Amino acid sequence: MLGGSSFTLFHVRGIRITVDWSWFVILFLLIVSMSSVYGDILGESSTGAKAFGLAILSALGFFGSILLHELGHAFAAIRRGVGISSIQLWMLGGVARMDRETDSPEAEFEVAVAGPLVTLGLVGVLYLIGGIAAGFGEFGHIFRLAVEFKTDAGVNAFTSMIAWLATINGLILVFNLLPAFPMDGGRIARALIWWRSGDRNKATRIAATMGRGFGYLFIAGGLVLIATGDFFSGVWLGLIGIVVNGAARGAAMQTALSSRIGEVVVADVMDREPVAIPGNLSVEQALDQYFLRYRWPWFPVVDTAYKFLGLLQRERADEVPEVSRASSSVADIVDHDRGLFVRDDTPLDALLSNQNLRRFGALMAVDSEGRLSGVITVEQVGRALRDATATH
């Protein structure tokens, strides 16, 4: 359900923040529903300026909370050497797109638990803000109303918004900690099983089985809610069940493929003679001698010691004004994203979920010294999978 049209909002420390088209649907529904709630509290129409303004703040606060949760995962992954290509917000929450899987149970646990810890911190901060603003006794009453999904015309509307945000973050925390892979609780469970067994594939199979089980439970729960008249919540829970079930099934299939690939590494299947552009070449020379000659959309760029500097895309070279192309160096306009290359001793199964491999169709391979040693393409990975399948 992800992967359709998306829009880039901004960047956070080089991480692209995008929204799926479905995000706008949920944003609209949240604003409409919360306008009605604040209208009841304020004793005015749901289209009143105050009610509508608080509804917008609530919707943005909700998605801001989701973004902070995913940034918790992202920064933990980056600390562990795992690149993050983007964070995408959509109708069911958000997802941090990691360039590859973590390489140890400790790293898996750290990345998985980082998001819930951020959300737990948000609940605490929001409760503190509400307590300071209204007094902890009064805010406790407002918070209980929010937990019970009730409204009271006698309470402060702004404090009610803080209580709602604290409540929704609490629900996100509890729900995400369910051991339903690939949700956070399922990833934590996988990390613990992996740590105890020493076998990542076994841990993934067990976690994926639990994830599929929870997925079916969510779908069944959604149907029950729809049957009892709670259509919106039922559809929401059912969609979560479908997504969780599909993701868990995909993880199980990837694990099966990983076990078949065995000890194959990138160096075993990569192209060892990549065409690379010298970093000291001018943009004009790069366009004439490489892009016009080979008609490829991008090239790796290397320095005089053949160390990989980054990737140069045709669009980026074309953006340089013609009058400046002769004096502009290729090294000055390359994309330095760490997610564009992998070590040539990386296990091939680590690339199965690599987003940049899917995006560009290939990744650069470097040796232990950072020198360009080859290029690994989607076709080569697919051929290795077919060969592995044919021999099992």
Per-residue confidence (pLDDT) for residue 49, from 0 to 100:
86
Given a cut of 50, whether residue 373 has pLDDT beyond it is yes
53/57 Cα distance (integer angstroms): 6
Residue 5: is its pLDDT beyond 90? no
Query: What confidence category does residue 288 fall into, taking pLDDT thresholds of 50, 70 and 90?
Result: very high
Same domain assignment for residues 359 and 346: yes
Find the domain containing 53 and state its range. 6-261
pLDDT of the residue at 38: 84
d(CA 167, CA 304): 57
Mean pLDDT of the chain: 87
In 91-153, which ranges are E strands? 93-98
Is residue 357 situated within a structural domain? yes
Residues 189 and 48 in one domain: yes
In terms of domains, do 329 and 211 share one?
no
Predicted confidence band at 3 (pLDDT cuts at 50, 70, 90)?
A: very low
Note whether 321 and 204 are same-domain residues. no
Contact in structure between 161 and 61 (CB atoms under 8 Å): yes
125 or 341: which leads in pLDDT: 125
DSSP string, 41-78: HHTS-TTSHHHHHHHHHHHHHHHHHHHHHHHHHHHHHH
Q: Is 183 a member of any domain?
A: yes
Percent of the chain with pLDDT over 90: 48
Residues 235 and 91 both lie in one domain: yes
Of 261, 286, 301, which residue sits at a domain end? 261
- Could you tell me if residue 1 is inside a domain? no
Rounded to an integer, the average pLDDT of 135-153 is 74
Q: Are residues 313 and 171 in the same domain?
A: no
* 3-state DSSP assignment of residue 3: coil
- Taking the CA atoms of the chain, what radius of gyration do you get in angstroms? 25
* pLDDT in the model for residue 272: 92
205-230: pLDDT as tens digits? 999 999 999 999 999 999 999 999 88
Q: Answer yes or no: is pLDDT of 260 > 80.
A: no
- In angstroms, rounded to a whole number, what is the distance separating the alpha carbons of residues 330 and 284? 9
193 and 78 share one domain: yes
In the listed set 261, 290, 305, which residue is the last one of a domain according to the structure?
261
Asked if 319 and 277 sit in the same domain, the reply is yes
Judge whether 283 and 330 are in contact, CB under 8 Å: yes
Q: Tell me the per-residue pLDDT of 328-370, one tens digit each, with 9 for 90 and over.
A: 999 999 987 767 888 898 878 777 767 778 777 889 999 989 9
Confidence of residue 185 (pLDDT cuts 50, 70, 90): very high
Residue-wise pLDDT for 232-252, tens only, equals 788 888 988 998 999 888 888
**Whether residues 43 and 107 fall in one domain:** yes
Among 170, 167, 173, which residue's Cα sits nearest to residue 150? 167
Q: Is residue 375 part of a domain?
A: yes
Specify if 291 maps to a domain: yes
Query: Do 249 and 306 fall into the same domain?
Result: no
Question: Does residue 231 sit within a domain?
Answer: yes
Count of structural domains, the chain: 2
Residue finishing a domain among 244, 261, 278: 261
Q: Are residues 166 and 290 in the same domain?
A: no
CATH at residue 346: 3.10.580.10
pLDDT, mean of residues 282-294: 94
pTM (2 decimals)? 0.75
pLDDT tens-digit series, residues 41-94: 777 776 788 888 999 999 999 999 999 999 999 999 999 888 787 898 988 788
Cβ contacts of 368 within 8 Å, gap of 6 or more: 343, 345
Is 1's pLDDT higher than 50? no
Structure-token pair, residue 205: 């199979």
**116 lies in some domain:** yes
List the single range of 90-99, 129-138, 264-273 with lowest mean pLDDT.
Answer: 90-99
Statement to judge: residues 219 and 290 lie in one domain: no
User: How many C-beta neighbours within 10 Å does residue 370 have?
Assistant: 16
pLDDT tens digits along 296-326: 999 999 999 999 999 999 999 999 999 999 9
Question: Residue written as tokens 């040693």?
Answer: 373
Q: Does residue 11 belong to any structural domain of this protein?
A: yes
Residues 59/64/69/71 CA torsion (nearest 10 deg): 150
